[in-house]
Chains A and B, each alone.
Chain A
Amino acid sequence: MTAVTTQAPDTRRAGRTVYAAAVVLLCAWVLVPLYFLFINTLSSPDTVNSFPKPFVPEFDTGSLAFFAGFAGMLSALKNSILVAGMTMVMSILIGAPAGYALSRFDFRGKEVFRLLILLTRAFPLPLLALPLAVMFIRTGLDDTVFGLALVHTTLAVPFAVLITFSLFSGIPMELEEAAWTLGCTRLTAFTKVVLPLILPGITASAIFAFVISWNEVFAAAVLTIENRTLTAFLLQNLDTSPLHLKFAGGFILVVPALIFIFAVRKYLFAMWGIANR
């Protein structure tokens, strides 16, 4: 009896220790590389290439300035923004109506459709890259910002559908019906009642699509030559470029993605049905 009562808190304390250790480890796993990225980006090129490395940033913009001045870098950055922007718009325009239909209508094959949406992510891009490249060359879409945005849209649409589906499902049907009885058509009920309510969520979903495109490297590297995006450009110059350029490039890639994902985390949880806190 006494053995049990003294043992129980012990195991619980041990459990808590393991839990805390796991949390620390996971955080370190993510944060330590980010921290080094941060230090090295904000240090002068000399410091970055020397050893030992400092543990506090110098707040020197030398590396970033070098990055900005590197030939082709700014146009790659511009391409990245263009492609991601197009991806964002197209995936919402395609994804949101699908999400609305899934949440509001019952139709034959609805479950299969939902599965198919997820299945689009089951084919690895490397498998599709060659046929895609061939097709793009035939249609003249190769090495264009729009062509790449199309590919990124196919990557982002499943998420756009799932996020907007959960957003629309969170808006009671009664609200729309009330609007209909108050003089709205289906369309005006949507624009006057549903849209204002889901606008923050739609924004989040758009930002997520932006990040997917921003981070994508494989299709970008295969399908573009002149009009490289930032990821593809950095990949191409990986072995030839100096260390401080890599750090600065990595930083420029990671930071917007991190900020955006942090801003929309609530909606990403909603997508998987996890209650957010």
Chain B
Amino acid sequence: MAVIEIKNVAKRFGNYQALSDINLTIEDQEFMVLLGASGCGKSTLLRIIAGLETASEGEVWIGGKRIDHLPPKDRGIAMVFQNYAVFPHLTVFENIGFGLRMQKLPNDEVTRRVTRVAELMHIDALLKRYSGELSGGQRQRVAVARALAMEPDVILMDEPLSNLDALLRMEMRAELKGVLAESNTTAIYVTHDQVEAMSMADRISVMHQGKIVQAASPIEVYRNPAAEFVAGFIGNPPMNFLTATPAGTGQWQVAGLALDGPQSGAETLNFAIRPEDLRLSEMGMQAKVKIVEPLGAHLLVTCEVDGTLFRAVLDSDLAVKRGDTLTLTPQPDRIRWFDPVSTRAVA
């Protein structure tokens, strides 16, 4: 049982506020992804959980025990680092067995566990090699195996795949997800890659400027972003935004189109719609086509609506060319509204 509770954690580096108001509960055996742009504080949060960094404020609990004053070795965690951190002076076998040797386990137990995780990570043929004789992908497998061999309550991963090439990354992504699901550990996985986050996570915590903006399942984060930042960050291409003005109670005027919306007293709202949730129709917003990009399965059309850049993903059979004017209608149940002042979602 390893529920992780992070309570009111904040971190300052000198005058720089790297993290503030972090409150997060990660369930037992959950796969939590911390997602955000570079420099938003993901690694700092992970390192606070690992004990490699001390929080300026707040508490960290693992499995019902407060652990923020303990050294890393007493927290029941194992970590996989971005640059693998495979010990160059030890063989793959001794790398994977390093933590077990520190626990003074008997030799045959070490051999048994090392062999098991090595087979799991498909590196059982490399056990006698040194890290200098391994490829990046193999090193990362060693790093993961080394963490798994500890049979930890919690496994922490800081962008473990970001140094691998695209194809390998995709392969490892699926494999890692499978292996971790088997191992019954709670996992926190840091990445800046939203595809990785969407495909692996049970839950995603989207971080921005040292805060957690939204923590929810991948589909929830995608469909119901809690803030404009999330809407603009998740999804490729990202959501479209337009300014909406009131047109009666629960009615909003968007680029010449009257739409049902929230009953809000705000002077303006931001209307948001995903590019794939737009349809061609007789009546709708007038969109002047700027760029047409055929992507095979779809056509990505970048246009201008109401003086704002606006993207639509349309059927690839469509004959659209630069300079055309399209009439687009948003799918009503997919429209989201944001308060321009607080940038939070308005229902």
Complex interface residues of chain B between 116 and 163 (CB less than 8 A to chain A):
146, 150
**Residue contact B102 to A182, C-beta cutoff 8 Å:** yes
**Residue contact B83 to A181, C-beta cutoff 8 Å:** no
**Which of A175, A182, A196 makes the CB contact (< 8 A) with B73?**
A182
**Which of B51, B82, B83, B98 makes the CB contact (< 8 A) with A179?**
B98
**CB contact under 8 A between A188 and B102, given known A182-B73, A193-B87, A197-B88:** yes
Residues of B within 8 A of A177 (CB): 50, 52, 72, 79, 81, 85
Majority secondary structure, B binding face: loop
Mark B52-87 against chain A: 1 for CB-CB distance below 8 A, else 0: 100000000000000000011100011101110101
Chain A residue with the shortest CB-CB distance to B52: A177
User: How many residues of chain B are within 8 Å of chain A by beta carbon?
Assistant: 22
**CB contact under 8 A between A183 and B85, given known A177-B52, A178-B79, A188-B102:** no
Total A-B residue contacts, Cβ distance less than 8 Å: 57
**Which of B83, B88, B89, B150 makes the CB contact (< 8 A) with A182?**
B150
Residues of B within 8 A of A179 (CB): 87, 98
Q: Indicate whether A9 reaches chain B with its CB closer than 8 angstroms.
A: no
Q: Indicate whether A184 reaches chain B with its CB closer than 8 angstroms.
A: yes
Residues of B within 8 A of A188 (CB): 102
A172 to chain B, nearest CB (A): 7
**CB contact under 8 A between A174 and B85, given known A182-B102, A182-B146, A184-B102:** yes
Residues of B within 8 A of A180 (CB): 51-52, 71-73
Size bracket of the A interface:
10 to 19
> In whole angstroms, how far apart are the Cα atoms of A197 and B81 in the complex?
19
Q: Indicate whether B103 reaches chain A with its CB closer than 8 angstroms.
A: yes
B100 to chain A, nearest CB (A): 9
Q: Indicate whether B99 reaches chain A with its CB closer than 8 angstroms.
A: yes
Residues of B within 8 A of A193 (CB): 87, 89
Majority secondary structure, A binding face: helix
B93 to chain A, nearest CB (A): 15
> In whole angstroms, how far apart are the Cα atoms of A188 and B101 in the complex?
12
Q: Indicate whether A185 reaches chain B with its CB closer than 8 angstroms.
A: yes
**Residue contact A172 to B102, C-beta cutoff 8 Å:** no
Residues of B within 8 A of A196 (CB): 89
**Residue contact B73 to A178, C-beta cutoff 8 Å:** no
**CB contact under 8 A between A183 and B81, given known A175-B87, A193-B87, A196-B89:** no
Residues of B within 8 A of A183 (CB): 73, 99, 102-103, 150
> In whole angstroms, how far apart are the Cα atoms of A197 and B88 in the complex?
8
**Residue contact B81 to A178, C-beta cutoff 8 Å:** yes
**Residue contact B77 to A181, C-beta cutoff 8 Å:** yes
B92 to chain A, nearest CB (A): 14
Listed residue (B72, B79, B99) with the most chain A CB atoms within 10 angstroms of its CB: B72
Listed residue (A188, A192, A197) with the most chain B CB atoms within 10 angstroms of its CB: A192
A176 to chain B, nearest CB (A): 9
Mark B102-113 against chain A: 1 for CB-CB distance below 8 A, else 0: 110000000000
Chain B interface residues (CB < 8 Å from chain A): 50-52, 71-73, 77-79, 81-83, 85, 87-89, 98-99, 102-103, 146, 150
**Could you jot down 18 A-B contacts, CB within 8 Å?**
A172-B85, A174-B81, A174-B85, A177-B81, A178-B79, A178-B87, A179-B98, A180-B71, A181-B51, A181-B77, A181-B79, A182-B78, A182-B99, A182-B146, A183-B150, A185-B71, A185-B73, A197-B88
Chain A interface residues (CB < 8 Å from chain B): 172, 174-175, 177-185, 188, 192-193, 196-197
